[in-house]
């Protein structure tokens, strides 16, 4: 039996579907059942902060894919977010140790790195997270490493770039697509500064492939892997190629980085999703991961680049959201 925590997420749904099609029994776990909850052999809901409940969901499991987290505190509050991301992970590690679970795959995030100046970023670079979510992920990683070193648990950690694809539930990307597709005569896509920054994405299915491979590969025991697309273009080139391939009629506008930061500041008290700190990182920063380690150890390679990922997501967005 395989356990997927956070099975309602975009990645959780894709992973559950892949395992179920292969005939693998899957137990899904999340806060509650939704219409998006994937078909699984068994679904359990509850709180990952309840250790007795965590023991129940781990009973009879040989592999755990731990995807459950809270990325933004707006709906839950920062305190609850941190408890789920860090203490919830610790609860799962303790239960897995107590019940003798053979393998655990932990989904961290590239946000654990923060905003380093040197690109591309390797797994050996020192993480310096600059968001609350990134700090939580790094703390949870350290817990994983503690259980690896002290208890010799078989755990693999993945740090993917922003996961994007059909079925997307990331508000940061959805807002961008909405502004490009759903605002009638005001359609627009923004490029900050001169458009020479690069920001890496990774397709959902490519992450699924890496997780499945990492769960089985002996070399992945105790390892940390970056995951991201290849051939990441400069933002100005990316926007133009996406507009052409997706047949967008949106206007492309350049905005000064200082103005983007000013808008983020004045919109923050209004609790508006657009131009949050994470979004500023997306449009202003260079962020590219070096994925050579995953390619070498796991023989993994991304199947889609940034432009293909965005065009595929736009096609889905048109069909499902407009």
Position 240 scores a pLDDT of 87
Position 176 scores a pLDDT of 65
What is the dihedral angle through the alpha carbons of 207, 209, 214, 215, rounded to the nearest 10 degrees? 110
Interaxial angle between packed helices 51-58 and 88-99, expressed in degrees from 0 to 180 and rounded to the nearest 10:
50
Position 172 scores a pLDDT of 60
DSSP 145-172: HHHHHHH---EEEEEESEEE-TT---HH
Question: How far is 192 from 206, CA to CA, in rounded Å?
Answer: 28
pTM of the model: 0.92
Position 296 scores a pLDDT of 98
Q: Looking at residue 193, what DSSP letter applies?
A: T
Which runs of consecutive H residues, i.e. helices, occur in the chain? 10-21, 51-58, 78-82, 88-99, 132-151, 171-181, 204-216, 235-246, 257-267, 277-284, 292-298, 306-321
Question: How far is 274 from 172, CA to CA, in rounded Å?
Answer: 7
Position 73 scores a pLDDT of 83
Structure tokens at 264: 């983020």
What is the tens place of the pLDDT at every residue in 84-126?
999 999 999 999 999 999 999 999 999 999 988 899 999 999 9
Domain ranges (residues) in the chain: 2-164+200-229+289-298, 171-198+232-287+305-314
Position 261 scores a pLDDT of 66
Position 40 scores a pLDDT of 96
Q: Cα 107 to chain center, whole Å?
A: 8
Mark the ranges of the chain whose per-residue pLDDT is less than 50. Answer: 183
Question: How far is 289 from 160, CA to CA, in rounded Å?
Answer: 9
Position 185 scores a pLDDT of 55
DSSP 266-291: HHGGGT-STT-HHHHHHHH--B-B--
Would you identify the CATH topology of the domain 2-164+200-229+289-298? Answer: Rossmann fold (3.40.50)
């Amino acid at each position: 039996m395989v356990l997927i925590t956070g099975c309602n997420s975009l990645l959780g749904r894709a992973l559950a579907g892949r395992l179920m099609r292969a005939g693998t029994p899957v137990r899904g776990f999340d806060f509650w059942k939704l219409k998006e909850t994937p078909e699984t052999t068994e679904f359990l809901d509850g709180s990952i902060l309840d250790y007795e409940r965590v023991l129940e969901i781990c009973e009879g499991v040989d592999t755990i894919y731990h995807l459950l987290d809270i990325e933004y505190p707006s709906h839950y509050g920062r305190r609850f977010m941190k408890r789920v991301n860090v203490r919830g992970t610790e609860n799962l590690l303790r239960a897995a140790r107590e019940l003798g679970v053979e393998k655990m795959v932990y989904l961290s995030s590239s946000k654990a790195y923060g905003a380093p100046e040197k690109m591309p970023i390797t797994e050996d670079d020192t993480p310096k997270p600059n968001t609350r979510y990134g700090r939580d992920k790094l703390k949870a990683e350290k817990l994983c490493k503690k259980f690896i070193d002290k208890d010799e648990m078989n755990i693999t950690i993945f740090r993917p770039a922003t996961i994007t694809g059909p079925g997307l539930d990331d508000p940061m990307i959805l807002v961008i697509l909405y502004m490009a597709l759903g605002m009638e005569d005001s359609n627009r896509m923004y490029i900050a500064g001169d458009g020479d920054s690069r920001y890496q994405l990774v397709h959902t299915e490519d992450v699924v492939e890496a997780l499945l491979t990492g769960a089985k590969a002996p070399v992945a025991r105790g390892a940390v892997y970056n995951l991201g697309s290849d051939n990441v273009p400069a933002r100005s080139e990316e926007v133009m190629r996406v507009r052409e391939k997706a047949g967008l009629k949106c206007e492309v506008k350049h905005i000064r980085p200082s103005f983007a930061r000013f808008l983020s500041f004045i919109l923050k008290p209004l609790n508006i999703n657009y131009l949050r700190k994470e979004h500023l990182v997306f449009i202003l920063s260079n962020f590219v991961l070096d994925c050579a380690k995953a390619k070498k150890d796991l023989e993994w390679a991304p199947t889609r680049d940034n432009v293909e990922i965005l065009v595929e997501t736009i096609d889905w967005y048109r069909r499902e959201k407009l």
